[in-house]
A and B are shown apart, each in its own frame.
Chain A
C-alpha cells in the first residue's frame, strides 16, 4: 500500500490516454516511489472520540505503457481517500488502516503515509493485442478485501473505524 497525493477526477483517463499515446505516462510508483505503509505495534487502545472519517473518493486507474517489443506493461490502481468528518485536516496526527479479508480482520493496524489507501489491484505484461489480460479476474480477487480507516488526532484520540470500504469499489460510482 502506498500513499499517493489526491489528483483531479479527470486524471485517470488523461493518464491512460497519454500513456497509450506517448508510451510514457508514469505509474504511481514511478511518480512517488513505493512508500510502504508501516505496521504499528500491537493494536493500541486509544480512546475513541468523534465521528468516523469520511470517504472522499475511490477510483480505479489504468496505466498502460507500451513496450518496444509489441507488448504492454499495465497496472490498475485503486485509490481511496478520506477526510476528517469536520474537514479539518490540521487536527489529524496520522491516518491508520486495518485490512479485513474473508479470512478475518488483520490484527495489525497499518499507519498510512497520508489520507489515501493506494493499492495496485491488477498488473500484467502481455502482447498489446491481448489488452489488459486477466484484469477482471484480478479485480475480482481484490474485491475480497476491505479497508477500515481512522484518524488519530493530535489530542491522542482515535476516531471510530469507518465502515469497511471494499477494494475496487468506486465512489462516486464509476
Chain B
C-alpha cells in the first residue's frame, strides 16, 4: 500500500512542480536528507548528534525536509514534502517503522482513488485554526510504528508545561497506527493506538486521545466527559522520556554501525547492539541458520528467530516488512503462512515476543513485545501469538496472548489481554485488559 503511495506521491510532485505554486514562506534549518547525507544526516556529523535514516526510509522532496539532531527514522518510514508543503522535524524526535509524514494531502494523489491509504480529511472543525503549510514537528516527538501525519499539521510547537511534566523537555507521543490529519497538537499531548485527530482541531497540552477515538471537534478534544480524551500523567511522561532516550541511542548506534560496515544496515542483518544489557551484535536466523542478507527488500534486524528457511521466507512475505530486535532480544516467529506488506514486529529488552506456526499476517499488522502480570506475584507472561492465528490488515497486538486459531479483525487492537483459542475480535474493535473498550471510530 505504501509502496503504491510513494509512486503516486512522486508523480504528484512532478505535477506540482509543473504548476509552480507559491512556496511556503520559510523552511526550517537543519539537515536535509538528500544524496550525500543519507543514511547519516549530516554525513560528517558526530555520532552523538547525527540523525540516522534507515536506508529503506523513503524521502520525497528531501531538499524540503529538515531534520534536527539526534533523530531516528526507522525502516520504511516515508517523508513526502514539497516546496509549498515542507516538513521539519526537530531534534531528538523519532519517526519509527512505516510512519508516514506527508506535507500535504495533495502530494499523495486523489484520496478517493484509494481511500484506504489516507482516507478523506473530513470537514475542518468550525472556527478551528489552521496549521501553517506542511508539517512542523518540534523536538522530542515520538511517532510510533505505523502512525501518520498529514499536513497542514503542527506537533509539539505550541502549548505549555503541565504539572506532570514541569521540566524543560516536553514530549508528544503518537502511538501505533495513530493519525494526525490537518490538526495542531500542542506539546505534552498524545494520541493512543489507532486514535485520530482531525482537521482544525487543537489538542491542548496535557491531553491524550484514547485508543481508537476520532477527535473531530474542539469540544471532543477539550471535554473529558465526552469520552475521547484523558489527562496526561507522570507515567505517560516517564514513558515518553524513556522512549526518546532509547531512540536517541538508536540514532547513534545505527550511525556507528553504518560507519563500521555500510552494508550492515541493509536487509536482514545485525542489530546495532551498544546497550548495556546486550553488547553483542546478533544476526537473524532462518530455520536455525544465522544469515545476513543485505540485499533483501525487507528489514530483519538482530536476534530474530524464524522458523522458515530464507528461501521460503522470501517467497511468502510481502514488501516493506520490518522485524526488529534492535537490542538483541529474541523475537521468534514460527513458520509463516503468509505475510502481507508493511508488517512490523518489534521486540526489545525484557519484551520477548513469540509467534507460532502458520500465522497469517495482513497488511500493516503491528505486533509488539511486552510482558504483563497475569497472576500477582508470579513471573510475567510475554506476548505470544499462538499457531494458526489470523491478523487482519492493520491489526495491533501488544502485551497479550492470542489463543490458537483466533482472528483479530481489521484495524483492531488487543492490548493486555489473554484471548482464548478460536476467539474472534471484530473489525475496528479495541480490546483492553480482556474487555471491549470501544470501536475504532475512523
Contacts and interface: CB of A to CB of B under 8 A. Distances in A.
B349 A100 contact: yes
Contact of B399 (A107, A121, A144): A144
A132 B432 CA distance: 17
Given A100-B350, A108-B245, A133 B230 contact: yes
B432 A123 contact: no
Interface stretch (B126-134, B289-297, B369-377): B369-377
Contacts of B245: 106-108
B433 interface: yes
B135 interface: no
B246 interface: yes
Given A133-B225, A136-B433, A1 B234 contact: yes
A104 B225 CA distance: 34
Given A105-B277, A107-B245, A138-B233, A1 B211 contact: no
B233 A140 contact: no
B248 to A, nearest CB: 8
A137 interface: yes
A166 interface: yes
Interface string B241-282: 111011101000000000000000000000000011100000
A166 B399 CA distance: 12
Given A102-B348, A102-B351, A34 B211 contact: no
Contacts of A43: 276
B379 to A, nearest CB: 9
Interface residues of B, number: 51
Contact of A126 (B225, B233, B238, B432): B225
A29 B162 CA distance: 14
B210 interface: yes
The dominant DSSP class at the A interface is mixed
Given A105-B246, A105-B348, A144 B233 contact: no
Contacts of B230: 124, 133-134, 137-138
B239 A34 contact: no
A135 to B, nearest CB: 9
Given A102-B351, A104-B349, A127-B225, A141 B236 contact: yes
A102 B432 contact: no
Contacts of A137: 210-211, 230, 432, 437
A130 interface: yes
Most buried by A among B210, B245, B372: B245
A171 interface: yes
B373 A169 contact: yes
B235 A119 contact: yes
Contact of B225 (A130, A164, A171): A130
B62 to A, nearest CB: 27
B192 A102 contact: no
Nearest to B417: A140
Interface string B185-203: 0000000100000000000
A127 B239 CA distance: 28
A123 B233 contact: yes
Contacts of A119: 234-235, 238
Contact of B377 (A34, A101, A172): A172
B167 interface: yes
Interface string B414-426: 0110000000000
B371 A166 contact: yes
The 4 closest A-B pairs by CB, nearest first: A173-B376, A104-B246, A106-B242, A142-B235
9 contacts: A99-B238, A99-B239, A103-B243, A103-B346, A104-B247, A104-B249, A122-B235, A143-B399, A172-B376
Interface of A: 1, 29, 34, 36, 43, 75, 78, 99-108, 119-127, 130, 133-134, 136-138, 140-146, 164, 166-167, 169-174
